[in-house]
């Protein structure tokens, strides 16, 4: 397939791009910074398109002839209007253009934030009750996508049905070491801060029960590949690890990886049993179930290596890509 990917050089997108290419798909990759990952410029089945979400003409031209769209890039804003204009409106334009171009499958990257506060066992059947503008933007875009079943011929009158399949992936905390030289990592700095404290021998204290169902970008890329190659329509999938892992546990592993480390790692308070998202659906539909620890140790080591290099005064590349 020929697949148009937004955000293909970012935290999640770099691994999705590599996974699609490895499966033999042709990737049309939208990025504002095409020179940032030179490896993608030399891959036979990856074509880099310079552009951004606020340039609809560029996106519309790039998706012509594509079989699928995987929309990962995030539009951001400060006010409600900016969030709506930069993400929900952009996605509405993109999915309409994709339908008009004959695209068969559209995958939108949402977030667990679309559903709102977590309760134990929350699954894809729950209501959307977002608690902030980011979650509201994601929830609104999901609703637009799912409601895009047909056009109107007039006010109150239905027109042509939409042929394009439309599906949603809801990631949680997704981390990544760079997949290729110059590649990306997540913007959150907690891994970096832990590594720098461990390397410097500083003490660390964490609230009890502070953690989540970590998943790596390499792992979540498998969900994108399975979904884009499927005939599913109007489905939502939570994509997280099946284990609750705390930041305290991550710091303890970082200390174990650092011989001679004198940092003391402590926990404040008491925590009960954690609430968990139910990830049975990706297992049931795709046979995918992920243990976050499979890639966490590598990511911890990558952060430790960077912390040591920084302490030694070496220049490091910035791994935070917008898209």
Q: Is 274 contained in some domain?
A: no
Contact 22, 41 (CB under 8 A): no
Rounded CA-CA distance 226/256 in Å is: 36
Q: Is 52 contained in some domain?
A: yes
Domain count, the chain: 1
Q: Is 265 contained in some domain?
A: no
Q: Is 44 contained in some domain?
A: yes
Q: Is 278 contained in some domain?
A: no
Q: Is 263 contained in some domain?
A: no
CATH code: domain of residue 102: 3.40.50.720
pLDDT in tens, 54-76: 899 999 999 999 999 999 999 99
Q: Is 208 contained in some domain?
A: no
Q: What is the pLDDT along the chain (323 residues), one digit of tens a residue?
A: 999 999 999 999 999 999 999 999 999 999 888 888 889 999 999 999 999 898 999 999 999 999 999 999 999 999 999 999 999 999 999 999 999 999 999 999 999 999 999 999 999 999 999 999 999 999 999 999 999 999 999 998 999 999 999 999 999 999 999 999 989 999 999 999 999 999 999 999 999 999 999 999 999 999 999 999 999 999 999 999 999 999 999 999 999 999 999 999 999 999 889 999 999 999 999 999 999 999 999 999 999 999 999 999 999 988 987 54
Contact 16, 70 (CB under 8 A): yes
pLDDT in tens, 21-40: 999 999 999 988 888 888 99
Domain span at 226: 2-172+217-239
Q: Is 185 contained in some domain?
A: no
Cα–Cα distances in angstroms (integers) from residue 261 to residues 194, 204, 254, 302, in the given order: 13, 12, 9, 17
């Amino acid at each position: 397939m020929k697949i148009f990917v937004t955000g293909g050089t970012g935290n999640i997108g770099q691994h999705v791009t590599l996974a699609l290419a490895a499966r033999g798909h042709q990737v049309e990759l939208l990025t504002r910074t095409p020179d940032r990952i030179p490896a993608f410029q030399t891959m036979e089945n990856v074509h880099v398109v310079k552009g951004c979400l606020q340039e609809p003409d560029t996106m519309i031209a790039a998706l012509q002839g594509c079989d699928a769209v995987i929309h990962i890039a995030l539009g951001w804003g400060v006010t409600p209007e900016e969030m709506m204009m930069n993400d929900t409106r952009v996605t509405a334009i993109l999915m309409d253009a994709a339908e008009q171009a004959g695209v068969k499958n559209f995958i939108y990257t949402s977030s667990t934030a679309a559903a709102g506060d977590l309760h134990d066992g929350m699954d894809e059947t729950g209501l959307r009750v977002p608690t902030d503008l980011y979650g509201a933007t994601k929830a609104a875009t999901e609703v637009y996508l799912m409601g895009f079943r047909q056009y109107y011929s007039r006010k109150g009158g239905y027109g042509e049905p939409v042929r394009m399949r439309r599906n949603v992936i809801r990631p949680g905390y997704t981390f990544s070491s760079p997949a290729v030289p110059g590649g990306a990592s997540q913007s959150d700095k907690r891994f970096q801060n832990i590594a720098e404290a461990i390397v410097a021998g500083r003490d660390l204290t964490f609230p009890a029960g502070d953690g989540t169902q970590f998943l790596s970008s390499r792992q979540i890329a498998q969900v994108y590949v399975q979904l884009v190659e499927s005939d599913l329509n109007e489905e939502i999938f939570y994509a997280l690890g099946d284990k609750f892992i705390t930041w305290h546990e991550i710091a303890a592993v970082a200390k174990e990886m650092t011989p001679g480390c004198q940092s003391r790692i402590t926990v404040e308070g008491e925590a009960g049993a954690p609430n968990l998202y139910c990830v049975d659906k990706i297992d049931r539909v795709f046979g995918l179930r992920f243990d976050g620890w499979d890639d966490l140790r590598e990511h911890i080591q990558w952060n430790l290596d960077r912390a040591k290099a920084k302490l030694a005064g070496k220049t490091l590349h910035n791994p935070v890509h917008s898209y």
